[in-house]
Structure 1
Amino acid sequence: MTASARGARRRVVLDTDLGTDVDDALALALLLGSPEVELLGVTTVYGDTGLRARATSRLLELAGVPGPAAPGGLPVRAGAAAPLSGTPVWWAGHEGTLLGDLTTATTTPPAPGRSAAEDAADWLAATAASAPGGVDLLAIGPLTQVATALRHHPELASHLRSLVVMGGRWDGALTPEGLLEDEHNLRSDAVAAAEVLTSGATTLVVGLEVTQQVRLEPGDVERIAAAGPLGAALAAQVRQWWEFWDEPWGVPHDPVTALLLVQPELLELGPPGRVEVHDRGAVVHHPDPAGTVRVALGVDAERAAAAVVRRVLAGCHRAGGRERA
């Protein structure tokens, strides 16, 4: 990659609940395999965030990316564990089980006297403030850590280039009881979702009705499995997740959302507007030229699936820190 190409890259922070649904790990690999992205660091959210951070560090290690213990390595911070709403954390129970002894995986410790959530909030705010308008925050889990950062540092909303969120269902679909359909990430902390989606940050959201149009097939998983140590680890987790739900294929929710940062032409965004968040985490988007939230309306599903697999494979081939342009 040329120096000019590196200079044009989008500087991205990933906030993730990696370790449960495998799509978070696939999104991490996609970012690593995207020459358009400079990944600045990772924060983890929801439940045992320390375990999630160690799992993240192990995947980076398998990708050949210098981790937190290396000079100039990629920061990986455990963040907010408990939802601001008080909603119990949903835990599948298989988090990290296929990644070996995670006690040897190194993460970035909090600053002295700071909780994990406060430390991650301070780091997020400082990273955005160091280059106002130049950092994108990709949030693919419950929005607890982003809301915590905004509570401590309201200026974060204006400092971000964009906040890209996987969450919600935005097409007005109803449950059999006549309630608006909701989605795991926003349902897991509706208080945080309301605070983040009304913060004034320039926000792009991809919901279930769009991500569910894209499928990861068994043949895709076989290709990923053959792509070195990281590919083998990812494929094992894909199969674990499919077995957990007794499904023969999967939806790459988070990687599809990450495409907004690297191939935005594959998704169609609606007009700006305001967001209303119900107490269950269900959401409504009200178009408003003065609003700051745009919601994805559609996706080129076939091209998006191919792009996800291609970029994940590229991320798996970074061993030794070598990037594939």
Structure 2
Amino acid sequence: MAYPVFRPLCMALSTLALSCAMLTTLTLSAHAAPERQQVIVDMDIGDDIDDSFALALLLQSPEIEIVGVTTAWGDTALRARLVERMLRETGHSGIPVATGIATTGNPQPFTQARYAQRGQPAPALPAVDFLLEQIRRQPGKITLLALGPLTNVGAAIERDAATFGKLKQVVMMGGSVRSGYRKSQYVTARPADKEYNIASEVKGAQRLFTSGVPIVMMPVDSTQIRLDEVERNALLGHGSPVTDALALMYHQWINAYQPWSSNMPSLFDLVPVAWLLDPTVCPTTPLRIAVTDDGYTREVAGKPNAAVCLASNQPRFFEIFMGRLLADKP
């Protein structure tokens, strides 16, 4: 008659085993890797060099899943070929590339055209179609990283504002709020300027700032970070596939006719990328921003429509930037 004695004991042991299994599952879940950020990058890569550095930083950041890259402004087909080559030669050829709306009258030279011309033509995938389709597939999940004139963005809002409104957020480089362009941080800041990305596509910018989508804005106030010679030499001489691609494009950039520039890049477009990795890089202030018809981004009274970074933490920025790009593997 041992069965009645052992049955409660067996049940107790089974319960203990189940509890241990549940505890183990909870412990593993608590230490699971955080969900990767889903990001679509809309960029005018190929003119200034900061776009190429921004894409490189994204590729070296495993916390970010690049859902796709869309090209904006000017010769968007050639920009797509540049992206295709950079992705392929750095081992990321599976990332989709979509060609944006082409424009004419771009005053900026396509400085990295020779690099781009050796890329493969992108599939016939229109940027606006791609953007809206990805938002529909993952509503509330996708961050749009807007690093160029907002032609594609404005067209997407005009076509389907309801779908565009299901973005998680737009993180952008653009505008000039309390100070303008300057060559050095030791020079007195100019008043707010017309910033290139906004002034190039005013209607798209106006649509974005009235769309109701959460906006994180990095204007020239906080993004004029220079890549000095010591850091530049360390990066371009590093010898990884990503930094080798940057070295080629950097030398094409400085060899192009740019009377306003120097061999020291300003890393405008990298600040929004670094913010995605660590928001302390660029603390934000809630402001209401209005885009004027002549291309200024004015701070106005009213309910905030953007979180705006007015000053960046440059030591933390370089810690992230240099650390990621000098790592052999992301």
The TM-score with structure 1 as length reference comes to 0.82
- Give the counterpart letter for 2:96 in structure 1: P
Shift of 1:200: 0.9
Structure 2 counterpart of 1:123, from 127, 130, 144: 130
Output the CA distance in 1 between the equivalents of 2:121 and 2:110: 22
Aligned to 2:42: 15
Are the counterparts in 1 of residues 176 and 219 from structure 2 also a CA contact under 8 Å?
yes
The 10-residue stretch of structure 1 (180-189 or 230-239) with the greater mean CA deviation from structure 2: 230-239
1:262-296 superposed Cα distances (whole Å, 9 cap, x missing partner): 1111111001x3321122211112354x4331111
Alignment identity in percent?
31
Aligned counterpart in structure 2 of residue 133 of structure 1, from 140, 151, 154: 140
Distance, in Å, in 1 between the alignment partners of 2:151 and 2:86 is: 23
Counterpart for residue 222 of structure 1? 233
Kept after mapping to 2: 8 A contact 1:147/1:192: yes
- Unaligned segments of structure 2, at least 5 residues: 1-28, 183-189
Alpha carbons 1:274, 1:291 under 8 Å: kept: yes
Task: Deviation per CA, 1:151-210: give whole Å up to 9, x if none.
Answer: 1110234211110110011105599xx985111111111111111121111001101111
Matched, 1:281 2:295: yes
Q: Aligned ranges for residues 6-155 of structure 1 at < 5 Å?
A: 8-65=35-92, 67=93, 73-82=94-103, 88-99=105-116, 101-102=118-119, 105-110=120-125, 119-155=126-162
Once residues 287 and 304 of structure 1 are traced to their aligned partners in structure 2, the CA distance between those partners, rounded to angstroms, is: 31
| Deviation readout 1:12-47 (Å, 9 max, x if unpaired) | 000000011111111111111112101100000101
Aligned-residue RMSD, C-alpha? 2.4
Deviation, 1:64, is 0.8
1:143 touches 1:189 (CA, 8 Å); kept in 2? yes
Letter in 2 for 1:253: F
- Contact kept, 8 Å, 1:168 with 1:183, in 2: the verdict is yes
Displacement of 1:223: 2.2
For the pair shown, which has the larger CA radius of gyration, 1 or 2?
2
| Counterpart amino acid of residue 108 in structure 2 | W
Secondary structure at 1:98's aligned position in 2?
helix
Per-residue displacement from partner, 1:91-142 (whole Å, max 9, x unpaired)?
A: 314232135623xx242313xxxxxxxx321211111121211110000000
Paired letter, 1:304: F
Gaps of 5+ in 1: 68-72, 111-118, 319-323
Amino acid at match of 2:294: R
State the distance in 1 between where 2:233 and 2:181 align: 36
Match of 1:166 in 2: 173
Within a 5 Å distance, the mapping from 1:127-276 to structure 2 comes to 127-171=134-178, 180-212=192-224, 214-225=225-236, 226-242=238-254, 244=258, 245-271=260-286, 273-276=287-290
Structure 1 window deviating more from structure 2 (200-209 vs 125-134): it is 125-134
Q: How many residues align?
A: 290
TM superposition score normalised by structure 2: 0.81
In 2, Cα distance between equivalents of 1:192 and 1:41: 20
* 1:8 aligned partner, one-letter code: E
